[in-house]
Structure 1
Amino acid sequence: MKAWLDEVRPSVDLDGPHAAHFRARQIQALMALLPLSVIGNAVNTVTLAWVFWDRMGEPLWLAAWCLAVVLSLGVIGLLWRHRLVSDGRKRVASPRAIRVVVAHMGLFAALWATLPVVLFPDADEIGSLLLSTVSVGMICGGAFMLSPLAPAALAYVGVLFCGCLLALMRSPYADNGALMVMLSVYAVVMVGIIFTNGRMFISRLRAQAETERQKQLIDLLLRDFEEHASDWLWEINAEGRLRHVSTRLAQSFALPVRQLLDRSLTGLLAEMLPPDEPEGAHSLRHLTSCLRLGQPFRDIELPVEVGHAVRWWSLTAKPLFDERGRAAGWRGVGSDITQTRQARDELARLANYDALTGLANRHRFSTELDRLSRSPEEAARPCSLLFIDLDNFKQINDTLGHTVGDQLLRRLGARLRTCVTDGDLLARLGGDEFALLTWAHADAVAADALAARMLALIREPLQLEDAQVVVHASIGIAEAPRDGSDPRALLQCADLALYAAKAAGRATWRHFAPEMAAQALARARLQHELGQALQAEQFTLHFQPQMRLHDGEVLGFEALVRWQHSERGLVGPGEFIPVAEETGQIVPLGTWVLREACRQAARWPAHLRVAVNLSAVQFRSLSVIDLVDQALAESGLAPERLELEITESALIDDHEGAHDTLSALRTRGVRIAMDDFGTGYSSLAYLRRLPIDKLKIDGLFVRALGSDPDAQAVVTAIISLARALRLETTAEGIESVEQLAMLKALGCDDVQGFLVARPMASEDVSPYLQRTCALVAA
């Protein structure tokens, strides 16, 4: 029952503080209909008085009744008005005020009910008909007019129903059951109407309150949004003029509110658009088009000039429509995305430009190259691709430090930028590699002139901190579309040309030629086969004797590796050793050579030594000492019978580390020989400090002894230097008796070469020693 009543009356449990306002609205709804009630009651009372005036013995009673009915409504209205209290902008009423209204309506209904109770029993047919009509009308009108306040309507209808029922029971029609039933049904129908209308009235009040609450909440959120958020709201009418200008919006435009009201939004933005800003002009056209076509838009980014500073705004909006579905304007939000835009631009810059030099990076360069294959117009335009690689950057970086190396790259990048024409693209691909894609130097002659200029700029001395640095570079050149339009093919061609430039002595440039691709293919195939040969153990050792000059005695043999190729037969080291050094395969190959040489030498007479070459990569590894120990232990060879030949480059690159490694090997008894002496740095400082036993004179000087005085001077100086440092000397490449005589005269200790003996297989060593011993004895 309570839930049923809560639908037609305000409740603190359901409506909270709104209940008092709802009660006031119920009373106000009754007061709004009070004038009509006064008129209706006046007409009814006058009609009844006129009809029954002459039929009553006491007409003054009827006059008093009429006066009471008419005046009571006015008094009731005044009493109700005093029951309404102002609470801010709203009127409120207490539960007691509702009870007073219900009581008033009950008393008023009782006042009306006295008339049919008194007059109906003695009335004639016309009077009965009039009383019945007025009573039924009063019940119906009261039910409808009082239904906003259901308890008052129920009290009113209930009292009138009881009065009519009592009048009917006192009349001659009291035994007419049909009239009784009809009156009861009529009363029930009126009660249903009262509850239906009362529920609709209360529901409407509650819906209005919820709508008002949501509107206040939205207004509060919008105010808070505009006051504290970085975004701002904007609204324009159907003509595109601003009609809602918040403080935040005015601050964003840096203009007073009055100057913004009724201004065209697109006109304002056009005035604030920075000059020479193609993206901004495009975005403004897109915004104007969306407004004209009535299309919603989102995140249109616009640059605007506010206070001599360029800001970036993002605009989002949806169209508004009136109740007839016609365009009524636009409402949206604007955001200042300057910091986001700057961060995004910075990320884009970092993604496309090298942070160290400011040049384009590999990603940007690859993207530009891809255009050659995607665009037929670009593919048809001749261009040149130059690969630039610094020749001695690693040495500078290692000796002077990475800070100096970074300064060097920045300075060189700035120098190379002076060679770039508008429309060309210069990039740093990584490390010390640069690339230039140029359309201005597309032919071979222009590319040669550009390469020469770039090399000249690069080798100009640079003052970096306390050091003056001179750097050299090599350049590989590929031309499109002659060498190909596919980006990968063009890159490969330029890379092959760079490789050829380095092979030609560096500090120069080379154009791509078709034979370079064939050589690269052969080198790649050789590299693959070299890996398979290591696994299949297709290598063998040959040994070349080393002879003492003054008595012709054999001192030992140098181990020389050969490749027993399955298809090509015996392959000399000159073909595969450079490839092995480039690919790093020299390390496992050198390990096998050392172990196999020690194993073979262990079978020779105890006075013979074996000389083994160590590559620079192998010598600089931390495991070289352990490797030597392991090879000697596995073979049983005495350490003093092993002689390791090391090139000058291996000693120069890491002087301190080389000294420690050589000292550890010498401590074990292993002999050290410097191979190819005279072709490298030949520094007297490291010769004096490093623990070395022998200098090997390169065969290049030995073969030129009889024809080149300079070569003879070099050999003489090497022998004199070795003698002064108490080092032995071995001359390589002896091919004639004259060379042998000259070396003997100059004081060389040992020799090796074709004149002594060609390199031989391991099974030929013993027969050779037997023949040599017999000759020496004879």
Structure 2
Amino acid sequence: MPLSSTPRDLSVAPAPTSWLERLKAAYDLVHTSEAFDGPQARYFRARQIQSVLRLLPLVLLGNAVNCVAIIALFWEQVQPYWLVAWGIFVIGGLSLGSTIWRGMLRGGGRPWASRKALNVLTLQVSLYAVAWASMPVGLFQVADHPSQMLIATVVVGMLCAGGFILSPHVEAAGTYVLMIAVAAGIGLWRSQYATYFAIWGVLFIYAATMLAMVVSSARVFMSRVRADAEAERQAQLVDLLLKDFEEHASDWLWEVGADGRLRHVSARLAHSLQTTDRELQRLPFADFLRQRMPLQLADAADAHELLARCLKRPVSFKELELPLQVGHEVRWCSLTAKPLHDEQGQHVGWRGVGSDITLAHRAREELARLANVDSLTGLANRYCFGRELQDALLRAREEAREYALLFIDLDNFKTINDSLGHAIGDKLLRHVGARLKTLGPTGSVLARLGGDEFALLVPKGGDDLWVDDLARKILTAISEPFQLDEVQVSAKTSVGIACFPRDGRDPDHLLKRADLALYAAKAAGRNTSRFFDPVLEESANTRVRLQQELGVALAKEQFEVMYQPQVNVRTGQVSGFEALVRWQHAERGLISPGDFIPVAEETGQIVPLGTWVLRQSCMEATRWPAHLKVAVNLSAVQFRSTSVVDLVEQALADSGLPASRLELEITESALIDDHDGAQATLMALRERGVRVALDDFGTGYSSLAYLRRFSMDKLKIDGMFVRHLATDMDAQAVVTAIISLAKALRLTTTAECVETAEQLELLRALGCDDIQGYLMARPLHAGQVPEFLGRENLMSVMHHGAR
């Protein structure tokens, strides 16, 4: 049967509306036609004919008995030749009809019949009905009462039996029942019982009942035939899909009986396991698979044991993974199966599907490896190290062991990356990882946590001296030059150390304290190691609290700007004031800028703080005499901001302060990373009339290239040189060089931290322009500035010092 030969789906057919449509719909249910059943109609007609032919032997026997009874009964009453001819016609016609009907079936294993064949069957049934109808019509009126009873019995029997036997073909059955009923009625009408209306009623009811039974039986028969055809179609479709599945899919089917042996051997299964059908059926399936268990895998035996347990219980299992040794490689398969049961519900085997999941299993293992391994160095990554650290500390508690956690961070990696490129930087990290790997003792765990940061967890082999010796070995090993292709690279590192259980009893605390120790090593000058000290954590906590409180102080404007005068050395007149921010904490009192400014720079809070100081200073300077300037410090973070020029313009515009009265102080660190950006910012500020001073000159990189490349107005001499000016000839030489350099470049100079008259005289002798410090005045509140400016003899103050 073609798979496309699907009967019309009655469930989705539109509901009939008129009585003609309803009659047509009812007729389609008991009738076969190409319009309704498609190509299947030919097969259904054959099934109708076959249904009649199956009962034909009984029909022949019954007809023969009835004919003999009628002939014997009326042999003396009717001409014998007429009875013989009638009997021969009935029996012979029925026999001939059966031969003709069989001949109308076409095809071999799946017979079919044409519409003409059913029309011929209907015609032959009509002739057969006429032959039997002649018997009550011709004999009932001449028969005596017993004979009439026999005729009535035969008629009723033929009516029921014929209608039932012919019911698969509703047209033939209906014609037969109607013709027999009409003949019985004619015979009754011609007899002396014509006035017995009860007999007429019974005849009518019998005929109507038989017609209803014919229609009902035909509906049941056609429904069963169509259902069988649909089931056969579905079975063929399943067989086709299974065949296609076995021929083209990577999976394979398997089925085992109660003895555990394969019933059906898939060619793909044999191919996947590199064996033959006979070998597969030689042993129970589970035993066959166990023989191919890879002994080198630790979990292989457990997987095969699980399969054996599953096959002992009649419960479905899904995606059970098994490793198998196939040739010279290990392959993985996945088995899914459901139990099979017989009619009594007894378990008789298994049927399922298997898949070769080797590639998927390898991909899963690779993903698991990548999830735990740093792809650049091949070391453990942060996630894996955290898990290993957790497990190690659990074991350490049980075994009362001590561990040391070393954080290792390269000191100059950013410089190497920026100057030599990221490719060289990546190679350096791989070589660093390889060297560290050789230093870790047995049982240690080495990981790359990210960037240029590594972590080494080692079981302590002694006291802190032993750990310190290991840290020194790491510093020495990393300091040796690395040959990376044609480039030789030198690297330095810092090491922070925390010990379990002394410095932390859980991974989080131990990691945090090792990081604090690393921070301390960096602060101590780098290329060194430091153990964790509780003071470090206290300092870190203080910084965190300071950071939080700094945000609150910014929101509530709890800061104050104070002003330290800058005085001209030659005239003794005030030339301006430097704005200095102070934080008067509600609980801790005055907090030094050295404590909160670094925190503000680290967190980015220096930008809003610096903007506030700039605006306050400009507003306050407008209250001073017009010749006085205000100097405001800009941090490196502020200076690198793209909006610094706009902020300065806005502060000047809001306050009304002329740009020539504003002097911005920047440090050398603000110029290091972005030369082009710094140059553009400096030019933009000076074009607007703002003066720029280089603060703390002499303490940083002090490259003369900065002074040649960047436009400046002033150099500020750091107080560390001024304090030792009178006692240290080297400090005096540095100050002399700075002043001489400034004069050569046509820059002014300001010396900070001037505290004694002797320092003042030396600076005047060396040619310094301006000074500031406690010798003149401490930083003043805004309200104290007018009083300070009102002093008549500032030079006297400069000579004798301020109290």
By the TM > 0.5 criterion, same fold? yes
The answer to whether the 8 Å contact 2:566/2:578 transfers is yes
The answer to whether the 8 Å contact 1:382/1:442 transfers is no
Q: Match of 2:353, as an amino acid?
A: V
The answer to whether the 8 Å contact 2:562/2:779 transfers is no
The answer to whether the 8 Å contact 1:227/1:248 transfers is yes
Distance 2:163 2:797 in 1: 150
Q: CA deviation at 1:559?
A: 4.4
Distance 2:444 2:103 in 1: 91
Name 1:539's counterpart in structure 2. Answer: 560
Q: CA deviation at 1:92?
A: 2.1
Moved more, 590-599 or 369-378: 369-378
Cα deviation, 1:653-678, whole Å, max 9, x if unaligned, reads 33344444445555566555443333
Name 1:20's counterpart in structure 2. Answer: 42
Secondary structure at the counterpart of residue 90 of structure 1: coil
Q: Match of 2:56, as an amino acid?
A: L
Q: CA deviation at 1:206?
A: 1.9
Question: 1:205 and 2:219 equivalent?
Answer: no
Distance 1:74 1:50 in 2: 22
Q: Match of 1:483, as an amino acid?
A: D
Aligned equivalent of 1:37, options 53, 59, 65: 59
Q: Match of 2:538, as an amino acid?
A: A
Question: 1:478 and 2:476 equivalent?
Answer: no
Secondary structure at the counterpart of residue 607 of structure 2: helix
The answer to whether the 8 Å contact 1:379/1:485 transfers is no
Structure 1 pair 233/61, CA: closer, same or farther in 2 (3 Å)? Answer: same
Q: CA deviation at 1:724?
A: 6.2
Structure 1 pair 527/212, CA: closer, same or farther in 2 (3 Å)? Answer: closer
Name 2:338's counterpart in structure 1. Answer: 318
Distance 2:798 2:730 in 1: 34
Distance 2:530 2:98 in 1: 111
Aligned equivalent of 2:115, options 86, 95, 106: 95
Name 2:33's counterpart in structure 1. Answer: 11
Report the count of equivalent residues: 775
Question: 1:296 and 2:316 equivalent?
Answer: yes
Moved more, 231-240 or 128-137: 128-137
Name 2:172's counterpart in structure 1. Answer: 152
Distance 2:680 2:197 in 1: 133
Name 2:517's counterpart in structure 1. Answer: 497
Q: Which runs of 5+ in 2 are unaligned?
A: 1-22
TM-score, scaled to structure 1: 0.83
Aligned equivalent of 2:105, options 55, 60, 84: 84
Structure 1 pair 714/275, CA: closer, same or farther in 2 (3 Å)? Answer: farther
Query: Share of identical aligned residues, percent?
Result: 56
The answer to whether the 8 Å contact 1:424/1:440 transfers is no
Cα deviation, 1:209-251, whole Å, max 9, x if unaligned, reads 1211222233333344444544444333334433334455455
Matches within 5 A, 1:212-361: 212-255=232-275, 259-260=279-280, 264-271=284-291, 274-277=294-297, 282-304=302-324, 308=328, 312-337=332-357, 341=361, 348=368, 351-361=371-381
Name 2:15's counterpart in structure 1. Answer: none
The answer to whether the 8 Å contact 1:24/1:93 transfers is yes
Name 2:793's counterpart in structure 1. Answer: 771
Q: CA deviation at 1:296?
A: 1.8
Secondary structure at the counterpart of residue 333 of structure 1: strand
Structure 1 pair 74/440, CA: closer, same or farther in 2 (3 Å)? Answer: farther
The answer to whether the 8 Å contact 1:443/1:479 transfers is no
Cα deviation, 1:625-651, whole Å, max 9, x if unaligned, reads 455555566667676665544333333
Distance 2:25 2:618 in 1: 108
Question: 1:75 and 2:110 equivalent?
Answer: no
Distance 1:637 1:188 in 2: 119
Distance 2:670 2:117 in 1: 110
Distance 1:631 1:6 in 2: 95
Matches within 5 A, 1:698-713: 698-704=718-724, 711=731
Structural RMSD (CA): 4.4
Structure 1 pair 693/49, CA: closer, same or farther in 2 (3 Å)? Answer: closer
Q: Match of 2:668, as an amino acid?
A: E
Structure 1 pair 210/584, CA: closer, same or farther in 2 (3 Å)? Answer: closer
Distance 2:799 2:627 in 1: 17
Secondary structure at the counterpart of residue 316 of structure 1: strand
Structure 1 pair 520/3, CA: closer, same or farther in 2 (3 Å)? Answer: closer
Name 2:534's counterpart in structure 1. Answer: 514
Matches within 5 A, 1:355-370: 355-366=375-386
Structure 1 pair 403/632, CA: closer, same or farther in 2 (3 Å)? Answer: farther
Distance 1:342 1:411 in 2: 29
Distance 1:474 1:624 in 2: 35
Distance 2:135 2:605 in 1: 127
Question: 1:649 and 2:669 equivalent?
Answer: yes
Name 1:675's counterpart in structure 2. Answer: 695
Distance 1:657 1:117 in 2: 125
TM-score, scaled to structure 2: 0.81
Distance 2:457 2:381 in 1: 13
Q: Match of 1:217, as an amino acid?
A: L
Cα deviation, 1:311-367, whole Å, max 9, x if unaligned, reads 554443322322222223333334455555555555555555444444444444555
Secondary structure at the counterpart of residue 55 of structure 2: helix
The answer to whether the 8 Å contact 1:316/1:333 transfers is yes
Secondary structure at the counterpart of residue 792 of structure 2: helix
The answer to whether the 8 Å contact 1:553/1:776 transfers is no
Distance 2:175 2:655 in 1: 125
Distance 1:571 1:192 in 2: 109
Structure 1 pair 46/437, CA: closer, same or farther in 2 (3 Å)? Answer: same
Q: CA deviation at 1:438?
A: 4.6
Q: CA deviation at 1:187?
A: 4.3
The answer to whether the 8 Å contact 1:612/1:643 transfers is yes
Q: Which runs of 5+ in 1 are unaligned?
A: none
Q: Match of 1:10, as an amino acid?
A: T
Q: CA deviation at 1:408?
A: 3.9
Matches within 5 A, 1:580-591: 580-591=600-611
Secondary structure at the counterpart of residue 343 of structure 2: coil
Structure 1 pair 136/431, CA: closer, same or farther in 2 (3 Å)? Answer: same
Matches within 5 A, 1:449-460: 449-460=469-480
Matches within 5 A, 1:527-676: 527-534=547-554, 535-543=556-564, 545-546=566-567, 548=569, 558-597=578-617, 611-628=631-648, 643-665=663-685, 672-676=692-696
Structure 1 pair 690/61, CA: closer, same or farther in 2 (3 Å)? Answer: closer
Moved more, 680-689 or 632-641: 632-641
Secondary structure at the counterpart of residue 653 of structure 1: coil
The answer to whether the 8 Å contact 1:148/1:201 transfers is yes
Q: CA deviation at 1:564?
A: 3.4
Distance 2:441 2:69 in 1: 111
Distance 1:758 1:176 in 2: 145
Cα deviation, 1:571-630, whole Å, max 9, x if unaligned, reads 443333333333333334444444555566666667766554432223333344455555
